[in-house]
């Protein structure tokens, strides 16, 4: 074991946890325990929230340019740690190092850079008749985050919260807490005022619930599963606290008959298997027009078989393990059920070879999936793609919308107007047409059970502001 932390970051310093209990952190590629972190308690949360509350008035009153300067210094401190961040995420999550550098490190730095700019020019006040309408920070934010993009999901909350003038108590996922320790080293070096950001690690039922139920937390900003999001919303509802929820997904990748199928399948498979399929926005349902269906299946099987699984630190590895043994069992269960429900295996599956050590699942493509079956309806969170034939645009839209989720999606067509018409009809928070790139300044969030609220860019900032009318 490399690291045994016993401390949290509270009120501007590293202090010992109230209790001695610890939680193990594993390397999912080797199954070894690589670190331990404290299992926080409600008493630790009380200390963190008290620090954030005490710091709030001062931080909220800080001039925008000064807040921006703090975030800029944080950006510099994190940039200096970029290699360490990528290696830490590769170790605690299993993301291949190259991808960890680009997505797990580069993306949160880009998000933070965007909020340096937005912090410097906060939303203007407005005059409505005899009213002056002003935007003010919401207050103390409880941020609870998952393991799959462990720094990005923290940054998507922390950066806008700080830019808006809020103070924060963070509970990262207990499966990937190590990158948050690096983040708080950078926060300390950047010299943010004591209490403005606080870290407590621990389990969801103990630390997470203590944050969600805390009377002094004004907004609970959560990213994770829909079931946990519902629990958090219930806890917050009891005291009418705000919630922002970024939850699960089962996004559809719609490939129309006039699409460039080669590109659509290549990009679609890459999207579905990104980060071993542990991506909330993954296009896990590929909906292909019947006239191009067989062609798409051949291409998808070939693309899946070309993935190299293995050590996240090896330069040619494209697919790492899943985060935990439990997650691997869940994913295996989904594959077995998908096949039992009539799906046809075209790549991967239960018997495909995987490394002996580590929580790996082979990239799997299952065809002829019934749109109502569990594999088409449940979030798998592993490298498993369900392919479904569709008859025409109306049918594609109906199947795409046949989901309790609505987080992301894609449409491919040679006719951009046609693709845009389909995109507008999809009940989902984002749609990419013909492989358009991810935009870190665009609003990000869910329709239906994929969540409430938006993150990123100026829409993300809005979540951390409230509106006051002053009549004169
Ligand atoms: P999870 O819901 O199990 O855990 C997320 C966080 O909530 C963790 O920090 C966990 O400790 C905490 N938690 C668990 N139970 C809690 C409780 N009762 N009260 C308070 N906090 C609790 O989710 P996960 O397994 O870490 O992450 C995977 C899920 O996250 C997937 O469903 C995925 O789609 C979703 N996700 C969504 C987005 C998005 O932006 N929409 C992004 C990434 C992941």
Cα gap 62→65, rounded to integer Å: 8
Based on the fold, state whether residues 206 and 95 are members of the same structural domain: yes
Residue with tokens 């937005």: 118
Which 3-state string (H, E, C) describes 254-304?
Answer: EECCCCCHHHHHHHHHHHHHHHHHCCCCCCCEEEEEHHHHHHHHHHHHHHH
Could you tell me if the CB of 212 is within 6 A of ligand 1? yes
Cα gap 369→339, rounded to integer Å: 9
Residue 467 near residue 133, CB atoms below 8 Å: yes
Would you state the pLDDT for residue 196? 98
Cβ neighbour number for residue 33 with a 10 Å cutoff: 12
**Domain membership flag for residue 2:** no
Based on the fold, state whether residues 415 and 456 are members of the same structural domain: no
**b/e 291-328 (16+ beta carbons within 10 angstroms → b):** ebbeebbebbbebbeebebbbbeeeebbbbbbbbeebb
Cα gap 158→229, rounded to integer Å: 19
Q: Give tens-digit pLDDT for 384-443.
A: 999 999 999 999 999 999 999 999 999 999 999 999 999 999 999 999 999 999 999 999
Based on the fold, state whether residues 408 and 329 are members of the same structural domain: yes
> What is the total residue count of the chain?
472
Cα gap 331→160, rounded to integer Å: 34
Residue 184 near residue 81, CB atoms below 8 Å: no
Of 28, 228, 241, 407, which is best to mutate to test ligand 1, by the most ligand atoms within 8 angstroms of its C-beta? Answer: 228
Using CB atoms within 10 A of its CB, is residue 40 exposed (0-12), middle (13-18) or buried (19+)?
buried
Based on the fold, state whether residues 174 and 278 are members of the same structural domain: no
pLDDT-based confidence at residue 122 (cuts at 50, 70, 90): confident
Q: How far apart are the first and last CA of the chain?
A: 64
Based on the fold, state whether residues 273 and 294 are members of the same structural domain: yes
In angstroms, what is the span from residue 32 Cα to ligand 1's centroid?
23
Q: Whose CA is nearest to atom 36 of ligand 1?
A: 224
Based on the fold, state whether residues 88 and 174 are members of the same structural domain: yes
What total of structural domains would you count in the chain? Answer: 2
Q: What CATH number corresponds to the domain at position 176? A: 3.40.605.10
In angstroms, what is the span from residue 145 Cα to ligand 1's centroid?
6
Could you tell me if the CB of 11 is within 6 A of ligand 1? no
**Domain membership flag for residue 232:** yes
Q: Give tens-digit pLDDT for 192-221.
A: 999 999 999 999 999 999 999 999 999 999
Residue 16: which domain range?
A: 7-247+450-471
Based on the fold, state whether residues 289 and 215 are members of the same structural domain: no
Would you state the pLDDT for residue 338? 98
Could you tell me if the CB of 432 is within 6 A of ligand 1? no
Could you tell me if the CB of 257 is within 6 A of ligand 1? no
Could you tell me if the CB of 382 is within 6 A of ligand 1? no
Mean pLDDT of 30-35: 98
Say yes or no to pLDDT of 1 above 80: no
Could you tell me if the CB of 145 is within 6 A of ligand 1? yes
Would you state the pLDDT for residue 9? 98
**b/e 135-145 (16+ beta carbons within 10 angstroms → b):** bebbbbbbbbb
Q: Whose CA is nearest to atom 11 of ligand 1?
A: 204
Round the average pLDDT of the chain to a whole number and report it. Answer: 97
Say yes or no to pLDDT of 450 above 90: yes
Would you state the pLDDT for residue 92? 98
**Domain membership flag for residue 1:** no
Say yes or no to pLDDT of 223 above 80: yes
Say yes or no to pLDDT of 90 above 80: yes
Q: Whose CA is nearest to atom 13 of ligand 1?
A: 204
In angstroms, what is the span from residue 146 Cα to ligand 1's centroid?
5
**Domain membership flag for residue 444:** no
**Domain membership flag for residue 308:** yes
Cα gap 200→37, rounded to integer Å: 10
In angstroms, what is the span from residue 445 Cα to ligand 1's centroid?
15
Of 111, 225, 229, 359, which is best to mutate to test ligand 1, by the most ligand atoms within 8 angstroms of its C-beta? Answer: 225
Cα gap 181→157, rounded to integer Å: 16
**Domain membership flag for residue 345:** yes
Cβ neighbour number for residue 129 with a 10 Å cutoff: 7
Q: Give tens-digit pLDDT for 270-300.
A: 999 999 999 999 999 999 999 999 999 999 9
Based on the fold, state whether residues 396 and 466 are members of the same structural domain: no
Would you state the pLDDT for residue 2? 80
Q: Which positions are annotated as active-site residues?
A: 246
Residue 122 near residue 71, CB atoms below 8 Å: no
Based on the fold, state whether residues 213 and 257 are members of the same structural domain: no
| Closest alpha carbon to 381 in 322, 458, 312 | 322
Phi-psi sector, 165: left (phi>0), alpha (psi -120 to 50), beta = left
**Domain membership flag for residue 445:** no
Q: What CATH number corresponds to the domain at position 356? A: 3.40.309.10
Q: What is the largest CA-CA distance in the chain?
A: 73
Based on the fold, state whether residues 202 and 276 are members of the same structural domain: no
Based on the fold, state whether residues 337 and 388 are members of the same structural domain: yes
Cβ neighbour number for residue 329 with a 10 Å cutoff: 13
Of 42, 145, 146, which is best to mutate to test ligand 1, by the most ligand atoms within 8 angstroms of its C-beta? Answer: 146
Cα gap 97→453, rounded to integer Å: 32
Could you tell me if the CB of 378 is within 6 A of ligand 1? no
Based on the fold, state whether residues 235 and 261 are members of the same structural domain: no
Cα gap 341→105, rounded to integer Å: 39
DSSP string, 105-139: IIHHHHHHHHHHHHHHSPPPPEEETTEEEEEEE--
Q: What is the pTM of this model?
A: 0.98
């Amino acid at each position: 074991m490399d690291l045994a932390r016993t401390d949290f970051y509270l009120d501007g310093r590293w202090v010992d946890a109230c209790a001695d209990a610890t939680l193990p952190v594993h390397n999912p590629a080797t199954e070894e325990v690589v670190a331990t972190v404290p299992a926080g308690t409600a008493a630790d949360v009380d200390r963190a929230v008290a620090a954030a509350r005490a710091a709030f008035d001062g931080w909220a009153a800080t001039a925008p340019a000064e807040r921006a300067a703090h975030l800029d210094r944080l950006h510099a401190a994190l940039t200096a740690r970029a290699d360490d961040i990528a290696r830490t995420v590769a170790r605690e999550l299993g993301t291949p190092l190259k991808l960890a550098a680009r997505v797990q490190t580069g993306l949160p730095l880009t998000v933070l850079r965007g909020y340096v700019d937005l912090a410097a020019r906060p939303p203007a006040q407005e005059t409505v008749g005899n009213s002056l309408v002003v935007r003010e920070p919401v207050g103390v934010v409880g941020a609870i985050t998952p393991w799959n993009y462990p720094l990005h999901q923290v940054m998507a909350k922390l950066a806008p919260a700080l830019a808006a003038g809020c103070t924060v108590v963070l509970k990262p996922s207990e499966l990937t807490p190590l990158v948050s320790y690096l983040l708080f080293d950078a926060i300390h070096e950047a010299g943010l005022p004591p209490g403005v950001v606080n870290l407590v690690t621990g389990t969801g039922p103990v630390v997470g619930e203590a944050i969600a139920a805390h009377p002094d937390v004004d907004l609970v900003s959560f990213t994770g599963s829909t079931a946990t999001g519902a629990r958090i919303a219930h806890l917050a509802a009891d005291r009418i606290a705000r919630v922002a929820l970024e939850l699960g997904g089962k996004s559809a990748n719609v490939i129309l008959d006039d699409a460039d199928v080669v590109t659509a399948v290549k990009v679609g498979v890459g999207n579905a298997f990104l980060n071993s399929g542990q991506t909330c926005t993954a296009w896990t349902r590929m909906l292909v027009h019947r006239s191009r269906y067989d062609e798409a299946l051949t291409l998808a099987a070939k693309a899946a078989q070309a993935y190299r699984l293995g050590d996240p630190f090896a330069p040619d590895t494209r697919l790492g393990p899943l985060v935990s043994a439990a997650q691997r069992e869940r994913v295996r269960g989904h594959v077995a059920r998908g096949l039992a429900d009539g799906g046809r295996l075209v790549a991967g599956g239960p018997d495909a070879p995987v490394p002996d050590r580590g929580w790996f699942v082979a990239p799997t493509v299952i065809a002829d999936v019934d749109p109502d079956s569990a594999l088409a309806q449940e979030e798998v969170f592993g490298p498993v793609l369900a392919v479904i034939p569709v008859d025409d645009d109306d049918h594609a839209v109906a199947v795409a919308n046949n989901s309790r989720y609505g987080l992301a999606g894609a449409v491919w067509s040679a006719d951009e107007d046609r693709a845009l018409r389909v995109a507008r009809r999809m009940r989902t928070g984002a749609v990419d047409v013909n492989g358009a790139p991810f935009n870190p300044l665009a609003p990000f969030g869910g329709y239906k059970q994929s969540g409430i609220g938006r993150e990123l860019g100026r829409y993300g900032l809005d979540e951390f502001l409230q509106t006051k009318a002053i009549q004169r």
